Amino acid sequence: MTTLPEELIDDVAFASTHLRSLRERARVLAIAAVRGMERSLVDALEGETLKGLREVVPGYRAARARSSSKRDEYSPFEPLPEPKAGQEHGREVLVVTADGVLEMARSVRRDRHFWAESRRAEDADLVVEDVEHLARLFPRLLADHIEHSRRTSIRFMRLEDVAQRISAALVA
């Protein structure tokens, strides 16, 4: 019978302990960064909703923090996973709501219809990799919001101009 060298066993034990320590430190820092980004986004919205982002509804593409799209890794908009055969609900996924809040959402089958259930994402729901995913997703959502707001502002300025001309014509 062959035994493993004591030095190799010690190296493996050290590497395992070191890896656990690094993973836990990274997780703590990642959660803090994710929560900071979430707070910044909510604060920046000042009570408004993200323009161009629908509420989380089965069948519509949600802003998923962990996109599983193979075709375009920068396209985080995917429908909620549907329940598999014989299951009542689909897998929970981390999403960003129109309010800029992180939630865990899943589709649920009831009476042959699909509904969305969601709950506020807790720290225990977050993984270290979310810090990278959300660092790409939030700027994209903000850029889309700004572009949508710009187009809406132009439309309102045009409507304001039309209203002023009509009012001036009525007074004249």
Residue 50: pLDDT over 90: no
Q: Which residue has the tokens 């994402």?
A: 121
Please give the average per-residue pLDDT across 30-42, as a whole number.
94
Confidence of residue 58 (pLDDT cuts 50, 70, 90): low
Model pTM? 0.75
Domain assignments of the chain as residue spans, ordered by start: 6-171
Beta-carbon count within 10 A of 6 CB: 8
For residues 66 and 5, the model is more confident at 5
* pLDDT digit string, tens, across residues 64-117: 776 655 544 556 677 788 888 888 888 888 889 888 999 998 888 887 778 888
Please give the average per-residue pLDDT across 110-135, as a whole number.
87
Q: Which residue has the tokens 């609900």?
A: 89
Residues 150, 172: Cα–Cα separation, whole Å: 33
Residue burial 129-152, b: 16+ Cβ < 10 Å; e: rest: ebbebbeebbeebbebbeeeeeee
Q: Which long-range contacts (C-beta less than 8 Å, at least 24 apart) are formed by 20-28?
A: 23/128, 26/128, 27/127, 27/128
Q: What is the pLDDT of residue 77?
A: 75
For residues 15 and 123, the model is more confident at 123
Which pair of tokens denotes residue 31?
């959660």
Q: What is the pLDDT of residue 60?
A: 67
Q: What is the pLDDT of residue 75?
A: 64
Residues 64 and 95 sit within 8 Å (Cβ to Cβ): yes
Mean predicted lDDT score pLDDT of the chain = 85
Instruction: Compute the chain's Rg from CA coordinates.
Output: 24
Counting residues of the chain whose pLDDT is more than 70, the rounded percentage is 89
